[in-house]
Amino acid sequence: MHEVMSISATRAIRFYVVAHVHHSAMTTGTAKREGSWWCEQDYQLLFEAIACGMTDEQIAEHTERRVSAVRSRAHMLVSYGTSKSTALALLRRVADEPDFDWDPLVRMVHQHEAIPYWDNASDLALITC
């Protein structure tokens, strides 16, 4: 079971609203999730698309993000060990390992990068407050 974020619900809402409004004002695109924080559901979609063998463009469409955003996220997940244009290929090889579990990888990277990770448990905790 995943831990619920230790941040108060009020603070979490404030953090999300401020970050979302600030970032949305700076973006102009048609991807529905453009400028949104990556959450557990986004990663589920990303790794589902990778497992299905989708192209970079199909992954972007599947996650409702731009190709550049998907490549940037893959680049972050592989510890910047490659170029953005080849990061998804490297992530595909990593995800193809038989015992691969994306959740611990994502949590570790978020912690290392000091990026809040919004998982389903955190969402549920906020909703039930």
Query: Over the stretch 24-77, which tens digit does the pLDDT of each residue have?
Result: 333 333 578 888 999 999 999 999 999 999 999 999 999 999 999 999 999 999
- Nearest alpha carbon to residue 75 among 85, 65, 67, 66: 85
pLDDT given at position 125:
85
The two three-digit tokens of residue 81, written as one number: 């060990």
pLDDT given at position 48:
96
Bridge partners of residue 39, in order along the sequence: 118
Q: Report the alpha-carbon angle 41-39-36, nearest 5.
A: 115
| % of the chain surpassing 70 pLDDT | 77
CB 5 within 8 A of CB 122: yes
Average pLDDT, the chain: 80
Could you tell me the pTM of the whole model?
Answer: 0.71
pLDDT surpasses 80 at 94:
yes
